[in-house]
Structure formats: structure tokens, C-alpha cells
Amino acid sequence: MNYLNTADRFVVVTGGPGSGKTALLGRLQEAGFATTGEAGRGVIQEQVVIGGQALPWADRTLFAELMLSWEMRSYRAAQRHEDVVVFDRGVPDVVGYLRLCKLAVPAHVSAAAETYCYNRRVFIAPPWPKIFEQDDERKQDLEEAEQTYRAMVNIYTRLGYELLTLPKVDIEGRAQFVKENIAT
């Protein structure tokens, strides 16, 4: 896996909703790492502002297309950094989302997941009922969060990534786990 010789620097954190990914990325950003925002949450926020239909509760296919565009844009923007960039999800998450929703995965989405490559070690946040919460953008229940987790395990494994499960510890412990495993 190598896309413009940057894949090794691009580290993905994925998993189901409400498993602590975004909080972890916030902590890593405080520690000096460059990070990206989560596509799904960003698309939802922007679509709500403009009254758009690219929402998971309105048009899931269109929502997936906008997430794909967001992820590709984030990837290209990250190429400007010379150090490690930690991604709040990656292009393969779009494939996982479409499969989770039992929607067709268009050829261009599959091609994107194979073209935009990341570090072979992907951090995955397991479902964690203790911290799971719904909010304005996260309307999924815990069962769907668990299904999303399994979909991400499947797609990243199929694409040849090595999954490192984030421990269910405080945010400092999780951040330390990521830092140690990036260093190796």
C-alpha cells in the first residue's frame, strides 16, 4: 500500500459511533498531532445548515458520496503535512457504511478505497456501552454502533490492514497506546 509515498504517515482511527474516536483525536491533536475531522459528522452538520438531503436518515447513497468526497479531500490536504496525520475514519469507512446499509458499493467507491491508502496499522475503537451517547448527529443506537464496528473490521481486514483494538481505558491511556504503536 502506497499512495504518493504518504501512506505510512497516514494513521486511521475507525470503529462504530460513540466509541471515543473523536475524543481520542482531540487529545492527539492537543499532543501535537495533525488530525482530520470525521466526514460523517461534518457532512451532517453542513447538510442540516443548508437543508440538504445528503443525510443518513434521508438519502444514504448521497450521504455516502459526500463522505467519500470529504475523505478524499482530507487525504489530499493531509499530503501537505510532513509528519504523521491521524484520520477520524478513512475512505474504506465509506465502503463499510454502504455495506452496513445494504446498499450497492459503486466501482468508483471501491477504487477509492484501494487507491487512497493509509498506514497498514489501523486503530479500531470497539463498542463501549459505558461511554456511548447519542446526539444531534449520532442518532444510531448501540446495536447499530456494534454493527458499524463489525462492518469496519470486515472492510479494513479485506483491504489488508492490520487492526489494533483500542483499549477501553481513559483518554490518556488510549492516546498513549496510539503514540506507542505509531512509533513502532
For 37-65, what is each residue's pLDDT tens digit? 999 889 999 999 999 999 999 999 999 99
Query: In degrees, to the nearest 5, what angle opens at C-alpha 136 toward C-alphas 122 and 19?
Result: 25
Cβ(124)–Cβ(48) below 8 Å:
no
Cβ(57)–Cβ(51) below 8 Å:
no
Cell of 130: 459505558
pTM of the entire structure? Answer: 0.90
Cell of 73: 479531500
Q: Domain spanning 7-183: which CATH class is it, in words?
A: alpha beta
Domain ranges of the chain: 7-183
What pairing do the DSSP bridges indicate for beta strands 34-35 and 121-125? Answer: unpaired
Structure confidence by residue, pLDDT tens digits, 145-175: 789 899 999 999 999 999 999 999 999 999 9
Q: Measured between alpha carbons, how far is 18 from 140 in angstroms, rounded to an integer? A: 9
